[in-house]
Structure 1
Amino acid sequence: MRLDKFLKVSRLIKRRTLAKEVAEQGRITINGNEAKASSIVKEGDELSIRFGQKIVTVQVNEVKENARKEEADQMYSIVSEQRLNQD
Structure 2
Amino acid sequence: MRLDKFLKVSRIIKRRTVAKEISDQGRILINGNAAKSSSNVKVADELTIKFGNKTEVVKIMKIIETTKKDEAEQMYEILDESYEEDFRK
Output the TM-score relative to the length of structure 1: 0.97
DSSP 3-state at the match of 2:4: helix
Residue 20 of structure 2 aligns to a residue in which SS? helix
Q: Which consecutive unaligned segments of at least 5 residues does structure 1 have?
A: none
Alignment of 1:1-87 (within 5 A): 1-87=1-87
**Match for 2:47: what amino acid?**
L
1:12 is paired with a residue of what secondary structure?
coil
Within 2, Cα distance between the matches of 1:12 and 1:41? Answer: 14
The 4+ residue runs of structure 1 with deviation greater than 4 A are none
Identity of paired residues, percent? 57
* 1:75 CA displacement: 0.1
The secondary structure found in structure 1 opposite 2:86 is: coil
* 1:9 Cα deviation from its structure 2 partner: 0.2
The CA deviation string for residues 36-71 of structure 1, in whole angstroms up to 9 with x for no partner, is 000000000000000110100000000111111110
User: How far does the alpha carbon of each residue in 1:14-41 deviate from its partner, in whole angstroms, 9 at most, with x for none?
Assistant: 0000000000111000000000000000
Amino acid at match of 1:24: D
Distance 2:10 2:36 in 1: 17
With normalisation by structure 2, the TM-score equals 0.95
In the aligned structure 1, how far is the partner of 2:47 from the partner of 2:82?
A: 13
Q: Distance in 1 between matches of 2:70 and 2:82?
A: 25
Aligned residues: 87
Indicate the RMSD between aligned Cα atoms, in angstroms. Answer: 0.7
